[in-house]
Structure 1
Amino acid sequence: MSPGIFLIDAIGPFFRGYERRRINWSKIPFTHLATEGEARQLQWERIREDMRTFAREVAASGYNSVTLDDLAHLAPHSLHEPETAARIAVFREEFSRIFSIVREAGLQIFVTSDVLPVTPAVDAAIGNHRERLEEFYRGLVDDFLRDFPEVTGLVLRIGESDGVDVKDPIRTRLHVRSATETNRLLQNLLPVFEKHDRTLILRTWTVGAHRVGDLIWHRRTLAEALRGIDSPQFILSMKYGESDFFRYLPLNRAFFRTPHRKLVELQARREYEGAGEFPSFIGWDCEQYARELQGDANLAGISVWCQTGGWHRFRRLAFLENDDRDFWLRLNTIVALRIFRDRESVEDAVAGLVGTAKAPAVLELLRHAETVVKELHYIGDFATQKLFFRRVRIPPLLHVYWDCLFINHAVRKVLRHFVRDPERALREGEAAYALFPRMVELARSSGLPVADIEHWRDFCHLVRLARRYYFLPFDPALGERIRASKKAYKKAWPSERRQRYRIKVSFEPFKVKRQTLGWLSTLLLRRQRGYRLIDHVFTLNLLGFIFRLFRPGKSKAVPKFLRKSAMGVDALFR
């Protein structure tokens, strides 16, 4: 693949000192950044110092480009409120210094942008007038590319906007609703990029909202969105699978269905697998994807997320720790690069990082860790099933989500419905858990973070108890053991010492009969990508209308993490 684009996110320095209990890692927390006085001076000095460290480290590892957030906070406009304009002016000044640090390290800069950012004043002046909004956005892009010639290009996200927890006066909202509108946006913007000789990278990631919500996997939607797009300044960026960064997902075949240059998106800081708290190794998955992409994918490079993603309390900062706390993040980040750029095997890439003497023990540890992730965190029988709801592919991991383990009757009932061989699921989980003594031994002999393995072991003890609850006949004694183990876990790993999982336990009955659950799953879920007649009539149209009418997404009956994280469950029904 070399030479190519080897892109890594550089937002870690902006989270230093951000002490929220649960952090939105999807974008730089701009409201946390000081814009005046001594606080500004001290905070931005620390950010610059961290950015020098980060840029030096990732450049030495072999990356040649970084992403930084975001256009909306760096692009002034006459419609902005005075307070917002003043903050943007400060950000432009400070980011100019950040850009200089990155460029001095020999790295190219790409800036992210959600389509489309507004403020209350912009909203009041333009409202929902689509042509004027697109003219407004095009002006932001044009002026930004003119003002910052050191920026190589923009990375556009059209299928997700700011989370419901974001309180910034500059907020993004979903503007593009269909493939036709996506195509019009690209046709409108590409001349601007061609004029400035910059690169437009379009991400196909969506959360399933609106008709464009299936862009990540639906071949006709993608084809219509890219119809007539033929520019040397254009690159398509796609996650490796048809859903978010999960295991058990085959390579997205869309890589081979368009002639455009493409980036494959990978996640080193696994947002659904501990976010660097333990060795959730991606090397063998990367090796498989790289092998498949040697075909006619027209791959231009990789985009690796080493800090971005998720709503959780885990807070390790990639390439910024003064000890080995970011070892698992570095390992994933560097091994992924060497596999895709240098065509190294996993074994050679790991040996090149840890040394040939330690490599056998480290590789054995990583193989065991992969078994634990795939056979204890995930339930293979469920994870391998291809299930779609409306415009999204159902995640292969339901009971462990971000920093939460859910042990409740609703999850139990759902998993018992879909898992066809519960005995096998129980055996696999117990066998995977039995690997921990050897993993602790290997970590100790290799000089790797032993405490990380011990914490993971204690958490996985709860995961295997949860699996027993899911698939064995209910036993009150097991319920008591789960509650006691949760208490012991919290005592062994208090939050003031390190960040740990939240264990959500409730044995209250889920008042949906098994037969009703089966009927609902047949009606609402499908095992094929293509839409059924019932989807066109009910699931995609009438169900969305019913949801908006009764707004259950606002109800406390819906779990808080579905209401208060990301864009909220409402996005699924738009």
Structure 2
Amino acid sequence: MTELLLIDTIGPFFRGYDRRVINWSKIPWDHAGRQGAAWWETVCRELNVIARQAASWGFNAASMDDVAHLADHAWIEPEIRRRIARYRLEMRDCFQVLSCAGLSVYVTMDVFSATPGLLQRLEHERMTVNEYLCGLLDQFFTDFPEVAGVIVRIGEADGKDVHDDFRSQLVIKTPADARAFLQQILPIFEKHQRRLIFRTWTVGAYPIGDLMWHRGTFAETFQDITSHALVVSMKYGETDFFRYLPLNRNFFRTPLAKIVELQTRREYEGCGEYPSFTGWLYERYARELKQAQNVIGCMVWCQTGGWVPFRRLAFIDREAIWNDLNTYVTIRVIKDGALVEDAVRDFARERYLGDSDALLELLRLSDECVRELLYVEEFAQQKLFFRRVRIPPMLTVYWGNLFVSHSLRKLLRYFVRDADGALRSAQRCMDNLDHMIPLAKRAGVPVADIEYMRDTFALLALAREYYFAEDVTDIEERILAAKADYKAKYSKRGLRARYRVKTDFKPLLLNPRHLGWAIQFLMRRQRGYRMVDRLVVLSALSLIYRFIAARRPHWIPGFASKSAMGVDVVFR
């Protein structure tokens, strides 16, 4: 099968999108729909820059949003159809830009996105979602011959902040549902000679929620599926784009064509505001993937993902040097099998930077800071599961938020035994950051980015002291003072977006022994489900959560209930 090297290209569509925190998961359709000809010309111009640079680096395909807003259907409300008609015209120009640069066009699709009127009509006609999508895609491929395929997401729907004419919802709930969907939809792709890229990414909802890591769910979903039109797309680990994750073993469990999803704009690691280098991490995965059957390429997310205030866009913003570097090294490692060091030196020459040896040393020191201070290494190395989700290896930072709380202190003290080691690694990382400033000058990269990283990581080092040091008589005051200084420095007009530092020193009224019992009951260190999981955690706990959400909603933290799809999705 032809090699597939995909890159996302939605960044230009966020120009002028005036929100502090942006949902980078897909194009804001309402925003794009309000724009005039000049805005669309800018989008095409920037897409041309992205496409030609990506093609020159070795990518051969690009992803774009999305089928719901591009496929016309008589059952959609008339006003929305008029907006779709205009969007189709503008997007044809965008597709043409990508095609002219040598990139095949792939369009994303959630299963299932619909308007209120469309949902009512489906119910009235007693038509299934699969039947509707077969007809919709059949016409879509006829209308857009330039589209090479569709990237399907079945395990995550729109976030709570999305207020669109179309709303996505999770309709595939079991492996049998997923297999039936594939069996019905694949003949449409075969008929039009297009590719279906099926993402195994899920957020833990319903029995299909463990598809990305559970061998039984994975095997049942793809049982007897042999279509040449199908490509299975998997994130490199068993959860989202974090470090400390072994390569997903499902790459070795099917002969179907597969691609690996990699993120170079690291949504949990600053989104390119500072160097969060992925070269050595992805080099290791690339070596391991050589042993897997029928891995035909990768999907690189360089602009998509997360709910964050950070705005640097790969390829089209000069400040996005760290995302550009990650993207360049990633494609060189995956496509050409290049050594990381050689790829970094080549990038430095292409961008007319300074001393490449200084840049490599800076990246090594930065890599250590990210691994040991952005993460708490001893916790991150532990394999933990709750219900159908592998617990992320990062606890204290989430998207654009840095958390310092007494409840986290208790949790980390339970999981981390070597408190002195955690404190020493924090100090070593702060020393690294001091050394990185003169290296940045020699390497010809932005010194201000390293200073921003040092100021941000200084807060993490203070939090580390709060979590693990025994003598913390004034630590709360020092954290609050540092938080105020940080906010004042990075909230001024004209300066970059900053992390929000959320503090809560109110004691968690839970005995450490009882906390340990609760953790051992709710979490497990094995992939397979225990008897208590099947009897209580996967079933009764859903009912308990729904009761709490209805009767005691204030017990659920606002951040957990309002961001992305909300924590309630984990309990479905």
Q: Give the TM-score, by structure 2 length.
A: 0.97
Match of residue 178, structure 2, among 182, 198, 218: 182
Match of residue 468, structure 1, among 456, 465, 469: 465
Deviation at 1:475, TM superposition (A): 2.8
1:540 — aligned with what? 538
Quick one: which amino acid aligns to residue 389 of structure 2? V
**Aligned CA distance change for structure 1 residues 58 and 495 (closer, same or farther; 3 Å):** farther
2:418 — aligned with what? 421
For structure 2, the 5+ residue unaligned runs are none
Matches within 5 A, 1:267-282: 267-282=263-278
> Residue 500 in 1 paired to residue 498 in 2?
yes
For structure 1, the 5+ residue unaligned runs are none
Matches within 5 A, 1:348-427: 348-355=342-349, 358-427=355-424
Between 459-468 and 59-68, the greater mean CA deviation after superposition: 59-68
Check the 8 A contact 2:465/2:472 in 1, yes or no: no
**Inter-partner Cα distance in structure 1 for 2:452 and 2:100:** 39
Q: Equivalent residue of 2:290, what SS?
A: coil
1:22 — aligned with what? 21
Q: Equivalent residue of 1:551, what SS?
A: helix
Deviation at 1:8, TM superposition (A): 0.4
**Inter-partner Cα distance in structure 1 for 2:335 and 2:410:** 45
Q: Equivalent residue of 1:319, what SS?
A: coil
**Inter-partner Cα distance in structure 2 for 1:161 and 1:283:** 30
Check the 8 A contact 1:80/1:119 in 2, yes or no: yes
**Inter-partner Cα distance in structure 2 for 1:552 and 1:558:** 11
Q: Equivalent residue of 1:152, what SS?
A: strand
Match of residue 105, structure 1, among 101, 105, 109: 101
Check the 8 A contact 1:553/1:570 in 2, yes or no: no
Deviation at 1:253, TM superposition (A): 0.7
> Residue 457 in 1 paired to residue 454 in 2?
yes
Quick one: which amino acid aligns to residue 339 of structure 1? V
Deviation at 1:420, TM superposition (A): 1.7
Q: Equivalent residue of 1:106, what SS?
A: coil
Between 115-124 and 276-285, the greater mean CA deviation after superposition: 115-124
Check the 8 A contact 2:548/2:555 in 1, yes or no: no
**Aligned CA distance change for structure 1 residues 173 and 130 (closer, same or farther; 3 Å):** farther
Q: Equivalent residue of 2:131, what SS?
A: helix
Match of residue 204, structure 1, among 181, 191, 200: 200
Match of residue 165, structure 1, among 143, 156, 161: 161
2:483 — aligned with what? 486
1:555 — aligned with what? 553
Deviation at 1:128, TM superposition (A): 10
2:340 — aligned with what? 346
Between 560-569 and 342-351, the greater mean CA deviation after superposition: 560-569
Quick one: which amino acid aligns to residue 212 of structure 1? I
Deviation at 1:131, TM superposition (A): 5.3
Match of residue 139, structure 1, among 135, 138, 151: 135
Deviation at 1:489, TM superposition (A): 1.1
Deviation at 1:125, TM superposition (A): 2.1
**Inter-partner Cα distance in structure 2 for 1:412 and 1:143:** 55
What is the CA deviation profile of residues 11-31 of structure 1, one whole-angstrom value per residue up to 9, with x for unaligned ones? Answer: 001011111010001111111
Give % identity.
49
Deviation at 1:33, TM superposition (A): 1.2
1:328 — aligned with what? 322
> Residue 12 in 1 paired to residue 11 in 2?
yes
Quick one: which amino acid aligns to residue 562 of structure 1? A
**Aligned CA distance change for structure 1 residues 135 and 366 (closer, same or farther; 3 Å):** same
**Inter-partner Cα distance in structure 2 for 1:34 and 1:142:** 25
**Aligned CA distance change for structure 1 residues 474 and 546 (closer, same or farther; 3 Å):** farther
**Inter-partner Cα distance in structure 2 for 1:553 and 1:283:** 48
**Inter-partner Cα distance in structure 1 for 2:124 and 2:155:** 18
**Aligned CA distance change for structure 1 residues 369 and 3 (closer, same or farther; 3 Å):** farther
Deviation at 1:474, TM superposition (A): 6.2
**Inter-partner Cα distance in structure 1 for 2:537 and 2:169:** 24
Check the 8 A contact 1:68/1:110 in 2, yes or no: yes
Check the 8 A contact 1:11/1:27 in 2, yes or no: yes
Matches within 5 A, 1:513-528: 513-528=511-526
RMSD over aligned CA atoms reads 1.6
Quick one: which amino acid aligns to residue 84 of structure 2? I
Deviation at 1:492, TM superposition (A): 2.1
Quick one: which amino acid aligns to residue 423 of structure 1? D
Matches within 5 A, 1:441-452: 441-452=438-449
Between 200-209 and 473-482, the greater mean CA deviation after superposition: 473-482
**Inter-partner Cα distance in structure 2 for 1:45 and 1:231:** 39
**Inter-partner Cα distance in structure 1 for 2:343 and 2:49:** 23
Q: Equivalent residue of 1:228, what SS?
A: coil
Check the 8 A contact 1:553/1:569 in 2, yes or no: no
**Aligned CA distance change for structure 1 residues 131 and 335 (closer, same or farther; 3 Å):** same
**Inter-partner Cα distance in structure 2 for 1:180 and 1:128:** 25
Deviation at 1:301, TM superposition (A): 0.3
**Inter-partner Cα distance in structure 2 for 1:3 and 1:430:** 49
Between 557-566 and 121-130, the greater mean CA deviation after superposition: 121-130
**Inter-partner Cα distance in structure 1 for 2:471 and 2:69:** 53
**Inter-partner Cα distance in structure 2 for 1:288 and 1:80:** 47
Deviation at 1:130, TM superposition (A): 8.3
> Residue 337 in 1 paired to residue 331 in 2?
yes
**Inter-partner Cα distance in structure 2 for 1:512 and 1:82:** 56
2:111 — aligned with what? 115
Aligned length: 568
Q: Equivalent residue of 1:263, what SS?
A: strand
